[in-house]
Amino acid sequence: MVKTGLESIAAMFAAAKAQNRAAFLPYYPIGYPTYDDSLDAILAMAEAGVDGFEIGMPFSDPLADGPTIQAATQVALENGITVKRCIEAVRTLRDRGVDQPMLLMGYLNPVLAYGVEAFVRDAKAAGANGLILPDLPPEEAALVGEACAQAGLALIFFLAPTSNAERIALVAERANGFIYLVSVTGVTGARTDLPPDLRDFVARVRAQTDQPLVMGFGISQPEQARMMSEIMDGFIVGSALVRAGGESVSAVRDLAARLRQALD
């Protein structure tokens, strides 16, 4: 039996846990610095042993992103990358042997323009396992959520340091796949220091749910990855890898490998 998207994601966490570590999920946008390079970068990271991917789809107005990802996705748009190309990229990556879970990450409007049902159908057919839309909080997610549930795809929701017990309860109830914890109040971007109250935040969420917890925003260094491995089920690195992608595919491979090795 072929696994559903949700089952693949659950298997990913189980495998990492069996090795006593967190799952490492790089973010990388399709089309940066070119379409071919972005696919090569993702393949190189797959070979370096990362656990899953957030595959970035560009949007003209990425209001949850800091300067690094803004600039990269702007380049992607200038390179003619559309939602359709991003879905094709997932298919190509599967054909080229990537077997880790892939979650498409973007903003709501391009998904609406594509058509929610068509998007979910095509994303699933291409081999995607889930969807991450930072401007879609759970109370607005009925339409997308239903389509994803039918297709067995994960639709990931967020919690932030500002989330109170009520929000944590709501997200915990609707969550599937994992819950994405934003490490800081802010936008994406590599940071040298993570906030001191991080462990408290994780503990507050952990007290209310058994869902896998994945942290993102600001993580860029091997020491941070090691800390993530202690307190989280998974973590996401974006801007630092995108910055490396501006240099070369091998720079991406090297950074991904170092972050991955920090977990052993």
Q: Which residues bind another protein (CB under 8 A)?
A: 59-64, 66, 70, 74, 77, 82-84, 108-114, 134-137, 139-140, 157-164, 167, 171, 182, 184-187
Shortest distance in whole angstroms from residue 186 CB to another protein? 4
Annotated active-site residue in 7, 36, 37, 65? 65
Shortest distance in whole angstroms from residue 58 CB to another protein? 8
Active site residue 65: yes
Given a contact cutoff of 8 angstroms between Cβ atoms, the answer to whether 52 and 11 are in contact is no
Active site residue 54: yes
Shortest distance in whole angstroms from residue 164 CB to another protein? 6
Annotated active-site residue in 40, 51, 54, 233? 54
Residue type, 164: N
Neighbouring-strand partners of residue 132: 105, 156
The bridge status of strand 234-237 relative to strand 213-216 is: parallel
Alpha carbon distance 37, 51 (integer Å) = 20
Residue 209 vs 248, nearer CB to another protein: 209
Helix (H), strand (E), coil (C) string for 134-153: CCCCHHHCHHHHHHHHHHCC
The tokens describing 21, both together, are 């570590």
CB atoms within 10 A of CB 146: 14
Residue 32 vs 51, nearer CB to another protein: 32
Residue 155 vs 187, nearer CB to another protein: 187
Q: Is 157 helix (H, G, I), strand (E, B) or coil?
A: strand
Give me the active site residues, please. 54, 65
